Structure 1
Amino acid sequence: MLDISGNIVKEGDLERITRLKTKSIIEITVDKPLALKYKEEGWQIKKEYTRSLKIFKNKTVDVLFEDEVWLLFKKMGFKEMNKNRQLKVSVGSDSRQIDVFAKDETHIFLIECKSSEEVSKKDLSKDIREILQMKEGIIKSLRNYYAKDYHFTFLLLTKNVEPTQNNLEIAKENLQKDFYIWKYEEFQSYKELSNQFGDHTRYILYSILFENRKLAGIDTVKIPAIRGGKGDNKYYYFVIQPEKLLNGVAYIHRREKNPREIKYTYQRMLNKSRLERIKEFIRRGGYFANNIIMNFTSKPTFNKRDEIGDIVLGTLTFPRIYGSAWVIDGQHRLYGYLDSGKSTDAFLPVLAFDNMVVKEQAKLFVDINKEQKPVSVGLLWDLYPDIYKDSADLKQQELRAISLIVKKLNSEKKSPLYNLVKLPSQSKDTQKWAHLTLTRLCIAIKENRLIKEKEYLLFDESYDKTIDTAFEVIKEYLGTISKSFPEDWDKAEKGFLCSNIGIRILFNILRQLLKYLEFYEDKSVYLAKNKDRFNDKTKEILGPIIEKIKNMTPEERNKIRRDTNRELIVENTQKLLWDLKQKTNFGIELWRKGGWNPGIPKEENDERIKKLIEETEIELKTFIVQELKLLYGEGWWKNGIPSDTKKYIDDIVKKEISKSPWKENELKAEPVEERLRFVSIAHLKDLIILKNNWGQFERYFAKDKEIISTAFKFYKAIRDKYMHSDRLKDLTEIDKGLGYWNMKWLRRCIGLTN
């Protein structure tokens, strides 16, 4: 049996077949007597001649998809391809039909296409099994046919056919055997890349599929270079033809495996109009004197020839690895040489670091690009998933995770933010409904410390794992909110809830919701896979806030939306939460440094406030004694009162005795409970948050000791002024309100109702 049956075309024939495959119809010329037979098969007459007819028929769905795939690989620069679907490769005594065959100087791709008119789920196990079983036989036949070894890759592409999870798992297990499944979204990503980069897309493809594998069929790059640096901090300086970097060595994506993400990376990093301007500059004879900066992510070799101080002259040999050098700066200068006609005879100066740690190369990238006008803060947020991909630095991991969470909220169809987030890397045409900015959403997550490791809110073992965990919680939370007031949510930026400011406020509230559930319920409420309970709790707890928003006038909601300052956003959040905070302690963390309050109620007067202050102090001392006795029993004074507080009390008693000696017996004989009257407000706070006492008291107050400290601070401030009437004039209305409401909170914590 022949190794191959059917036609493989190249050069002129390849261009002719390309023209045929771009059409949505099949055209043939037949003798007139055969017209009836073809008409019965669905053919239609296009043109009539004397003895013959030109007839046509629409291509079927499967043929259209195969042609679409064929055209992509042709556009990527493959020089030999199958003429039609009649190509077969022998496998022992059998043969295998090949839908798309694509060959360049070093690689051969064998592609199976599965398509359907309507979206359907299908188990492709049989097809996968056949490909894997016949794979070695196909390779053997093609090696015999070409009398040369190539790198063989097998692809299974689908359109409107959804593989099962098991299918995808099998493909994942066979990546090192060069078998891949592409869904149509992945195929489209390469198609879009090819529209911008033409046949260079082939090298992007190789750097994705064959990461860390040796380059096949490409000459080893050896160039004169200067080496500087010491130890692990070495760098090289050299000049090189752009072509040698572009042919599989350099890359700008950060090791993403998802073609869609890589497409966005290239769109983010390479501005199309800027590339065209640079390309035109190069064609007119322009050149660049400033360095391309890159980092070898696979180790090069360097042979020393001479040495002058710390500078070493020698020959640098690039690693023969796909995607071995990440371009940190100069992407446009390098990629401007594509299709310029100058990529082989021009030279670029390059500064290349040798395996710089990810944290440092990411920092260098950010530092360089922050100084360059074209890179905005939004674009940096867009780039963090690329530049911080392999970083071990926790801060960089957090930034990367935040960006990926927001992008997932934008890309997942079940997300309430689906297609609503503007990404700098995407064109306006593809973001018609997007009105939320990537930066503001990312900042909302960051400033609320939702995924910070030490906060333990949505952090889940690692930042990579946290991405999905946080996405699910945020998706459900925003979904519940959007369904609670859809009339406003659907107005997008013209409404309140789904505006940029509204979303910032909702993220402020989300933090308080998670803290509240953690304190009064359990984290499992929102971390459980089934989110029904979380959704119910969200509706139950936040119902009053949603009602408050519903009852606002459009003017009131618009006013909040116009307050873009961070402090005003927090203040507006406090206003929304105030009533709920007063009833349930919800959101009290927002007031741990003070903040907005409605002022003293009109029915209050200075005399009543003073009585409340005095009563609160007495009741606090009684409450503390009561709880310490419950905790320590008869040893409450010894174990619950720290030595410095006891010394403070003893010193006060001694002063009293020195002033009034006749009180000595009375003071020494009184119960220790009475001695607490000598302590200050600051001492009372310290007794509550003392490490050994805290477990007894935290159930009554809040888990955050800073909140308690703040409440006591403002209570002490108002107390000190009211206990010395001459100081009342120094008390501002803001401080008076803060003191009053923090006192009311302390009273509520210890069980006082007014």
Structure 2
Amino acid sequence: MKQIEIDQIKNKLTDDVSQLGKIYKSKKSPFISISIDHNLVDDYLNDGWEIEKILKTKTRLRKPKTHHKMFEDDVWCQFYDLGYRYLNYDDTFKLPYGKEPEDKKQIDIIAIDKETVILIECKSSEKPKPSGSLKTEFEGLERRLDGFRKVIDQVFGKGLKVKYVYATRNIRIDPESIEIERLVKTRSFYYNDNTYEYINSLIKNYKGAARYQFLGLMFKDQLINAEKIEIPAVEGSMGNKKYYMFSLEPHLLLKLGFVLHRTRANEAEMPTYQRLLVPSRLQGIRKFINEGGYFPNSIIINFAQKKHKVYFEPSTRTSDSNSRFGILKIPNAHAIAYIIDGQHRVYGYSDTNFTESNTIPVVAFTDLDSLEQLKIFFDINENQKAVSPSLRGTLQRDLLWDSDKADQRLSALRSSITIELAESTNGPLYNKIEVGEDSAILKLSAFLNGLKNSGLLPKARGNNYIPESTFGSIYNIHNQNHKREMSRSEKIVVQLLNLCYELVEEEYPEVFNRERSLIMSNRGSYAYISLIGSLNIWEAKHGKVDQKSSAKERFEIISKYLIALLDQLKSMSVEEEESLLSKYGSGAEKKWSLNFQLLVNKVFPEYETEELVIWKERQDKDLLAKGRHFGVEIEKFMKHQVLQKIQEIFGDDWELEINSIKRKCLERAEEEKEKNYKEGLGRTEIEWTEMFTINDYKSIIEKYWTRKPEKDQEYSTFQDAFSIDIGEGLGSKAKSIKWISKFNSLRNSWAHEGTKEKGLSKEEVRFLENIYQLFYSNVD
């Protein structure tokens, strides 16, 4: 090839990171955007464009991408997300494959890195349909690919692995068809809807590590290079299966490895058995490794030897063992090592500082089929008992006590306090809290969570204490002798809690010993510990206790409040008790805690926490009714204004403009009619315009934000009618209508029965009143 031809090819590609980032942002959008002079807008609007934003000298317009364009852009973005940073920047890339001028083929996407060149051709349909004949498409593919490889060698240098990808969306091709047979024969890859979704899942869950699994998918069994990996190994036998034990650098195992995920993209490998990685767990493992952590247990793999054989060269065997030592020679090929157990550990090494310097222990079988791998996987996961939450919480004391991070030391401290409460033979909670694997009537987590949210101890993120959590805390954050301070504060907290529980045990035995107790239950324990902490903070605010106060001094000051609580619990009616006991699910612990505070407040009205004040407001039926009145009127105003304006802007075509919303409203109207009929209300006609939701109004307001009737340029737009500053200014559409989302969230408090627990606070009612006044003060 001539240099000018090489330059023409390279000029259609870019590795400029800044430019690629802008292209990626553009391709992620479902719209094509352009900026034009204001005087040209009408012509473009008639051609299907819509106004996105009006600038000083230009108007930015947009229109939806075609289905095929969106598909191409989606696939381009996938390869960008996989880490490719040398890609085509427009749709006019053509690659020669022969000597004649016409021997060129458009490539929709080309993605290049240091090792691979991926050539992608995209075909799509807006609706699912059969592919039709692909004879012309694939019959000459082998010759074209041969030509492509020669050109790529000349343009980008020799040694790059080339993969042709035929990508489809909504196109059905029989996997047993002659077309797929022709494609596979050329060692190309068929990239269908399942593949696209699977790779999206990999990117979401694996982040940077997705690349390794992707390369295994694309280049399965293809050599990375011709040099074998030679490592010392021990050969052994168990369960009539030969296996090898060795240590291998993570970066090698990442390239050799492949995980049989349960996904349709791996249907040819069925049965598959692995779950996708858990992103948070992967992130935690990376952090653990980068901080010097390691895993002493082995990764379990299976070498698939369909194309490349693993060879063991023995050197010695002792008379005392059937095992023998030697050199294991592993082909350096993609996806020949199926990871049966340990995928989180393997992929956790990606993007760490130790992928090449560490070695990890491996147990490798050979030639296990998928069923045998599945059996091993189940045996490991069924017969190896996972560490229970209780044991993990218990171990925190030993693992984190000497940590150099404050949040970890506080976790250890909470764990140590709870263990001391459970194991102290002198305390009322002896043997009543589960510790390690030992079961008990109270869960460890109830005490860990209660201590965390009580205020008896501060909270921290990393080495930074959260300021608002330090006031009233027994733990002195300024003491740099962490071990001494932890021991000191542990002693005080344990003594204080034991004194508080002894009060229940000795003075209120009927409460303490009851099987379904309001105190001796998980939710009750959380609420009781939270109340103790709240009372400690309350008295600290009034100067009655400080960090020098002993446990006994604190108890003597707060005991009157606890007695007020316990007296009411003791005399609580069956109905009241059942009401409290029935609070389950998300937020139940918090509800119990607030109820305990409320019972104390009834006897000591001066005791009020900020959260209790707001919670009491939310129980106020008059306040809720006032808020409901404003909310209903606001919604009426929105409906009237939105329908009036949309009709004024579009005239007789207004329903067609919002037809997608109308269809949903009609469906809701039919459902409401059916519901009324089944409830014995007979046939009731319901207008579809009665079924708008707040989000429907919001969608219309957003879409036609600045739209005006053609003949009325002085028209009051949606922007004029619905822009409201809620403290963040009116600098953008999003800020101007942020109030709608807040209004919609509050609407649930008055629109549905059974939400009285939530209610409305005074601040929320003031918000509704302000919106109401803004709307109706402008109405003649």
TM-score tier by shorter-chain length is 0.3 to 0.5
TM-score (structure 1 length as normaliser): 0.44
Larger Rg: 1
